[in-house]
Chains A and B, each alone.
Chain A
Amino acid sequence: DTAVSQTPKYLVTQMGNDKSIKCEQNLGHDTMYWYKQDSKKFLKIMFSYNNKELIINETVPNRFSPKSPDKAHLNLHINSLELGDSAVYFCASSNWTSGRETQYFGPGTRLLVL
């Protein structure tokens, strides 16, 4: 049973297209995240949602629009894809127990924009 799942695993597309990446967690967590890992393996937060509400938006271009239909899902829609969007996108969810947060990451979606 996968705790945090993402689809698709791989995405190859042309510049200018619009694409979506889906994320689902079955852990009952309230908080979900999207991270971008670039070619140098640097992992950076993009968005954070808590109970379907946006709480972090890290100066990401507005071509990126997260959507949370319910607290188990956080999808990422990207408009007008650019070459620089090529990266691995990770979804994560987290919970807090005894003042400690643990994040659980999905397997990643490898996006290649041609």
Chain B
Amino acid sequence: KQEVTQIPAALSVPEGENLVLNCSFTDSAIYNLQWFRQDPGKGLTSLLLIQSSQREQTSGRLNASLDKSSGRSTLYIAASQPGDSATYLCAVRAADKLIFGTGTRLQVFP
């Protein structure tokens, strides 16, 4: 059974710091991995999607890597801003469904 875990559960950093969010999954048989952002009281917004054959994806200040064999992904946020404050969820696609991680709640203070 696929399990997805995210570390840390919460993170509070000053503005400008580079930071790394971690995601691990127990079964490497995945089609892809996605990182989402969830703002309080809002739905989810897809940030990056990495296919199982890819190693990383970049979008602006965000970079996501995937090491399928070790069951890990990281989301790197460069030069963090207060507007980055949100909960970040990773999700792996196994068969016909997404399985979500537990989330990392990020707070970036000015």
Contacts and interface: CB of A to CB of B under 8 A. Distances in A.
Interface stretch (B19-27, B62-70, B74-82, B95-103): B95-103
Interface residues of A, number: 24
B102 A41 contact: yes
Interface in A15-50: 35, 40-45, 48
Contact of A90 (B32, B44, B87): B44
A1 interface: no
Nearest to A102: B46
A69 to B, nearest CB: 22
A55 interface: yes
25 contacts: A4-B43, A35-B100, A41-B102, A42-B102, A43-B89, A43-B91, A43-B100, A48-B97, A55-B96, A56-B96, A90-B43, A99-B51, A100-B49, A100-B51, A101-B32, A101-B93, A103-B98, A105-B36, A105-B43, A105-B44, A105-B45, A107-B43, A108-B41, A108-B42, A108-B43
